Structure 1
Amino acid sequence: MIQDIAPHTYHNEYRPVAPDGSSFVLAYENGKSFFHKNDTDNSITLPRFRELEGNVSDLYKNYIYLFSIDDERFYLIPGLDTSLLPGYEFHENRELRYVQPQYLAFASITGYQLWFWYRNRRFCGCCGFPMKHDTKERMMYCPSCGCQEYPVLMPAVIVGITNGDKIICSKYEGRSFKQYALIAGFAEIGETIEETVHREVMEEVGLKVKNLRYYKSQPWSFSGTLLFGFFCDVDGDDTLTVDHEELSVAQWFDRDKIIGQDTDSSLTNEMMMVFAAGKEPK
């Protein structure tokens, strides 16, 4: 999966140390990340601070520390004019599912989630006053009313609904992503993550389920989500009643007929392939 970057190590603790010339610059637009892509080998390159030296007067003063991978640090530069970095372009975020090295793809999409949060926290939601960044933790605060805002995570479930040697695979309605996936949905206020599984399955395919087995989780910064993967068994009638506002199609697939995605970056694909191999938790 995209976060599996070993032997590299991701460090998300907030350490607002100053960048140096080799530090990475991350930049974004809505749904797009800024990098150079080599179409020959599908590799990407990210800009570094030294490439902006002499063109940005306050380069080493105006920055937001994000995280580190090994000893390499990643930053945002507020108000950066990306035209100062010729050779790099904005690309659709979905391209990061297919590029190498994987640790830079993971860094880029994780930075996008933080950029999106910072962009939407410029003003206090309580009084409208400009927010400031805390100096000790990754938090925005309002100097007027004291409101504090932390990065937002949206919990969601990925569900492998099984019936013997069959599993339900589906396609989303109205999405650019057209490959088969598993049933998924966001948790709502006041429910457990297990209750989310039962509700989403009923809403999307009209089934009752039992014997929930937790598989694993995944940070999915493409949608700002923390995913919880479960396998479960159909409880009773296995006739599907598909919510076509959410899904264009949903159907039962035999193990040997499962159609995997064209990348191994997602929890959905891993769970589909685990079931295809007969290795899902019982």
Structure 2
Amino acid sequence: MIQDIEPKKYDPAFKRRRPKDEDILLHYEYNKVMLIKEGEGCRLPSFKDLKDEGSFKENAYYLFSIDGTGYFLSDDARLPEFGGFVMEGLQIFRFFEPMEAAFAGITGSQIYRWRESRRFCGCCGGKMEPGTKERSMVCTACGHTEYPKISPAVIVAIKNGDKLLMSRYARGTYRNFALIAGYLEVGETFEDCVRREVMEEVGLKVKNIRYYKSQPWAFSDTVMIGFVADLDGDDAIRLEEEELAEAGWYTRDEIVEYPPYISVGHEMMKAFKEGKL
């Protein structure tokens, strides 16, 4: 999955430090990221690539590190007119290499979106500024503090004997097959969320709900909690057409694979296809 970057180590701890030339700069504009064209692909820029652009280093905000290399956010700079710099859509990180660069690029975008949405206080309307002791945004007027947005969600592989339930979304740009998923509601357990989302989206009951694994999924500011469950009773699908375009039961031979397997959903689909789930 996209966060599986071993043997490299991701360190998310909050720190106050200035960038070095070898550190990586992440600059976003809405749903795009700044990259450097290199051969047939792209790479993340370092501050060494931007040595003549002082504003990038002066206003850089530390995000995290991977094997000691710092990753910094610069959200108030302009795209350089030299060196092959381009702005690319964030979906590029679904296929980006190496994997640690893909993980860093999309994870940084999650913090960028959070900071952009917290410029002003939701309590009094005052200006928000970055916290100095932890990753937060603090109101300069009333002191209200906001922390990064992480939305918990479930995703479930529903088994019916030798078949797996797969679906396609009715909205958005993603058109490949996926598993049933949805966001946790207030006061709800993960297991109850699985039951509710499955009933709402495909009208089915499930049993034997068991945990698979979790995954940070920065494409949607989410932490995905993966589960496996068995069909309980009738297998007739009643589709929620506002959420799903189609859904059906598929044998192992019919399951389509979507490498690289960067999501917990695709990993579970692959595991079922190989008889490991």
What's 1:151 paired with?
148
SS, match of residue 222 in structure 1: helix
SS at match of 2:245: strand
Match of 1:278 in 2: 275
C-alpha distance in structure 2 between counterparts of 1:126 and 1:39, whole Å: 49
Query: For the Cα contact (< 8 Å) 2:27–2:75, is it kept in 1?
Result: no
What is the alpha-carbon root mean square deviation over aligned residues? 1.5
Measure how far apart 1:122 and its partner are. 1.0
C-alpha separation in 2, matches of 1:215 and 1:28: 33
Moved more, 174-183 or 44-53: 44-53
**2:75 matches 1:110:** no
Conserved 8 A contact 1:121-1:131: yes
Distance in 2 between residues matched to 1:52 and 1:250, nearest whole Å: 48
Q: Aligned in 2, Cα 1:178/1:38: closer, same or farther, shift over 3 Å?
A: farther
Match of 1:168?
165
Aligned to 1:32: 32
Q: Deviations over 1:91-150 (max 9, x none)?
A: 111111112111111100000000000111111111111111111110111121110000
Shift of 1:233: 0.7
Identity of aligned residues (%): 45
Select 2:184's aligned residue among 169, 184, 187.
187
Secondary structure of the structure 2 residue equivalent to 1:202: helix
Give the corresponding residue for 2:204.
207
| Aligned twin of 2:6 | 6
Aligned length: 277
Match of 2:23 in 1: 23
Corresponding position of 2:44? 46
**Contact 2:56 2:77 (C-alpha < 8 Å) held by counterparts:** no
What corresponds to 1:55 in structure 2? Answer: 53
Give 1:39 shift.
6.2
Q: TM-score, normalised by structure 1?
A: 0.94
For structure 2, the 5+ residue unaligned runs are none
C-alpha change, 1:97 and 1:61, in structure 2 (3 Å) is same
Distance in structure 2 (CA, Å) of the matches to 1:233 and 1:62? 52
Select which of 244, 247, 269 maps to 1:247: 244
* Distance of 1:262 and 1:179 partners within structure 2: 12
245, 265, 269: which one aligns with 1:268: 265
> TM-score with structure 2 length normalisation?
0.96
Whole-Å Cα distance in 1 between the matches of residues 154 and 93 of structure 2?
22
Displacement of 1:248: 0.8
How far apart are residue 62 of structure 1 and its match? 1.9
Q: Structure 1 residue 86: deviation in Å?
A: 4.0
Unaligned runs of 5+ in 1: none
Matched, 1:80 2:77: yes
Following TM superposition, where does structure 1 have runs of at least 4 consecutive aligned residues deviating by more than 3 angstroms? Answer: 37-40, 58-61
Determine if contact 1:183/1:201 at 8 Å carries over to the other structure. Answer: yes
2:229 paired residue among 228, 232, 251 = 232
